[in-house]
Structure formats: C-alpha cells, structure tokens
Amino acid sequence: MSQGQRGTWGSGPGFILAATGSAVGLGNVWGFPTQVGQGGGAAFVLVYLIAVVFVCAPILLGEVLLGRYAQLGPAGAVRKIIPTGPWWVIGALAVAAGTFILSFYSVIAGWTVQYLWLAVTSGLEAGPEGATALFGDVSANGLRNIAFTGFFLAATAWCVRRGIQRGIEAASRIMMPVLFVLLVILAIRSVTLPGAGEGLAYYLRPDLSQVLDIGIIGAAVGQAFFSLSLGMGALVTYGSYLKRRQAARSPALAIVGIDTTIALLAGFIIFPAGFSIAGFDPTSGGPGLIFAVLPQLFATLPGGLIFGAAFFLLLSLAAFTSTISLLEVPVAHAFDRWNWSRSKAVLVVTLFTFAFAIPSVLSFSGVPILANLPVIGGTFFDLMVNVWNEWALPIGGMLLSLFIGWIWGKKKAGAELSLDGAGFPSPALFGFLIRFVSPAAIALLIILRIVG
C-alpha cells in the first residue's frame, strides 16, 4: 500500500464532519421513519434508543480506535493484529456489505434526486392520492431509475477517486449544518399542523407489549447499525485516516449524538404530518412513506416548493456523503490489500455495484420475478435491505466487538483509548461494554431470531 493512495484528514473537525456525513443519510431521514411505520411506532423508537446507547455506541468508538491504531481499513487492521485465523471474515463481510448496501442505497438516492428535479421543474403532487401516485410513477419507471441510480453512483465514484481530503471532507463541511436547520424548520411546521397530536402519540407513546417483540427488536437493532454506519468497518476505514494524535473519543460520541438527533427529528417531521392527513396508515407506506408524506407537508408551507427543493437537495447530499463512505470501504481494501490504484479500485467496484443495483430498481417496475421472489417472497429490494441491514451489519458488529474486546484485547484497546486522555467512557467501562454487553446482546438477538 502506498501512502499516496491513503491520505489523512486535514483537521479534527474534518474527521467529525466526514464521519457524521457517513452516518447521516437516507438511513436517518428515509430508513428510520419507514421502519418506525412498519415496526410499531414508539415501541420501535424505544428499542432503537436502547440499542444505540448500549450496543452500538461502544462498537462505534471501538471501530474508530481500531482504525486509528492500525492506520488500515478493517481487513488490514485485523491482519495487523492477528495475521492468521478466522478473523479475516470481518474484512470480507465489510467489503461485501459496503458493495451490496451501496447497490440498493443508490436506488433510493436516485428517487431523491428525481424528487429534487420534480420540485424544481413541474412541482410535487400534494393531495394524498396524488402524492402516493407520484411515488408509484417515479419508482415504477425502470429505465429512468437505472439512469438516476447510475448517475448517483458515477458521482460517488468521481468523488471517491479524488481522494480523502479534497472530495469527502469538502462535501460534508457545508451541507450538514444547513440540513439540520431545514429539518428543524420542517419539524416545527409538522408538529403544529392540525391533527398532529395523534402522530406524536404514535411516535412517542410506546405500547410496552411490543417492546419485547423479537421482530421489532431485530429491525430496531439493524436500523441502529445501518444509521450509524456500523458493523462493516466504514468507521474503521475513516478512523484509519486519523493521525495517531488526533482525538477519537469525543468525535465518536458526537457522531452518535448527531446521528440519533437527526433520525428522531425525521420522525417528528413524518408522523405528525402523516397523521394530519385523513386516513393515513403508517404501516402501508413501505419504502414510499416519506416520498408520499413530505410533498403534502410542503404544500402547507408558504413557498412550499422552495422548501421541497431545498429538502430534496440536502437529502441527496446527505445520501452522497454516505455513498462515499460505502464505496470507500471496498476501495480502501483493494489498495491496502491488493495494491490496486485508487482509480482501478473505484472503477471495478462501481461497475459491480451498478450491476446489482439494476434488479433492485426493477423490483418496483413490475418485473414479476423481482417483485415477488420465488420461495422467499417479497421484492429483491426488500431482500437486500433485510440481508444486509438486519443480519450482516449486526453480525459484523458482533464480530468486531469480540475482536476488539478479546483479540486486540482490553489492555491494548484501552491504551489506545487512553491516548485521548481521561474522559467518558473510561477504558474500564469501554472494555466492559465491548467485551460483554454489545456482543452478548447481539448474539442473543441472533439466536432468538433463528429459533423464533
């Protein structure tokens, strides 16, 4: 590996911005409300928050520390610590998850860009039927979606090829704060709509009997991993571009806090607005939930289309800083491990990803075999979301936490944490969480899902 291919962050804030850029994306604004809608409202939110604090936050810190220590992506970091044995699976899983998640993620990103286009050109249909029909039209047009997905992938490839500082850092710096302000404005509008109370109750008052539903727990844990970009070494890779003397702990906590706040804000936008529309059923929205609700919210605002355009522009950019990190993981692997040039790695991975994006696109355009898979049922797109988010990422997270806690070991991981000076969490607390709490919680979940 040549240092020229790798690079480092320009500044401490550069890392926070880029890593937050990776975490904040469609997972927060599209995925979180969609999953809350499908998985029982406030019960899902409660389980999600518990998973973030006790299971995910320690792994996130562990991933960043591991990357900073090894100065390599997940596969390289694992091999640096233990050159032989089965732990190479972590790296393999990371490369596969990065590539396949990118393949369906870029499809949703393609819809987002089309909504931006529509807001600017012909307007967004605002009535309940119109908005749902509009999403149907947008998602069903196979050729157009292949084009937009390809465009999004090409833009991501271009940015990743430019390398770490000029591309990724610069893109994150401007849009994150603007996105946050816009979300706050929309949330305020949404909760003050007539009929918003019902939506707030759905979102905030958990039905405790559902908190123990294993399907809900599985979906919430998977969503937490997805939203925080965890379990596939994205944060090991980003951490590897930190210099050893740059801080890891407070950035890690900041990323968890910002990502969770933005997901919660998205819920405050979608549910009150959704319930203020007569006959709204959050469970029936599926992947189109936010695309059907938001245009109706914009219609209640003076100058709503400007809000709509700004919103979809920022959401596209938020998705962009996430796709960059998804692509960066397999690309970094190719130059760390196989000595490929950055350009070759970007080209090969992007083409492979695009090939797998096509069946996800066509899941929505009436290709019967993709819209209803033989044997398993459901769409090809749903299958991808399920396999990679709900299974691969938590399993990857469990392996990473076991590796960090037991193989790299609490002494060395703790020493790496201590480079940041004293603070919360202490090496002892971190060691306890990453050795016992995170892996045991995930293992239990996996066992219960398999037997259940």
Smallest gap from Cβ 241 to ligand PHE, in A, equals 15
Smallest gap from Cβ 153 to ligand PHE, in A, equals 14
- For 138, counting Cβ atoms within 10 Å of its Cβ (0-12 exposed, 13-18 middle, 19+ buried), the class is buried
Helix 88-120 vs helix 304-337: angle between axes, to the nearest 10 degrees?
150
Of the pair 314, 326, the CB lying nearest ligand PHE is at 326
Of the pair 23, 187, the CB lying nearest ligand PHE is at 23
Neighbours of 376 (CB within 10 A): 10
Instruction: Give the position of tokens 């109370």.
Output: 197
Alpha helices in 41-195 (DSSP H): 42-50, 57-70, 74-81, 88-120, 128-140, 142-162, 170-191
Which spans of this chain sit near ligand PHE (rule: CB under 6 A)? Answer: 22-23, 25-28, 101, 226-227, 229, 232, 234, 322, 325-326
- What does DSSP assign to residue 286? G
Of the pair 280, 388, the CB lying nearest ligand PHE is at 388
Of the pair 259, 416, the CB lying nearest ligand PHE is at 259
Of the pair 328, 420, the CB lying nearest ligand PHE is at 328
CB-based contact 268:191 (threshold 8 Å): yes
Smallest gap from Cβ 320 to ligand PHE, in A, equals 10
Of the pair 325, 360, the CB lying nearest ligand PHE is at 325
Tokens for 29, please give them.
């604004």
Smallest gap from Cβ 231 to ligand PHE, in A, equals 8
CB-based contact 314:21 (threshold 8 Å): no
Smallest gap from Cβ 67 to ligand PHE, in A, equals 14
Tally the C-alpha atoms within 13 A of residue 257's C-alpha that lie toward its C-beta.
8
- The contacts of residue 340 (CB under 8 Å, 6+ apart) are 334, 348
Residue number of the CB closest to ligand PHE reads 27
Of the pair 320, 335, the CB lying nearest ligand PHE is at 320
Tokens for 37, please give them.
């809608």
SS3 percent helix, strand, coil of the chain, rounded to 5, is 80, 0, 20
Q: How far is CA 449 from CA 48, 51, 363, 443, 446, in A?
A: 17, 16, 26, 10, 5
Of the pair 26, 345, the CB lying nearest ligand PHE is at 26
Smallest gap from Cβ 201 to ligand PHE, in A, equals 26
Smallest gap from Cβ 222 to ligand PHE, in A, equals 11
Cα(308)–Cα(298) distance, integer angstroms? 6
Smallest gap from Cβ 142 to ligand PHE, in A, equals 24
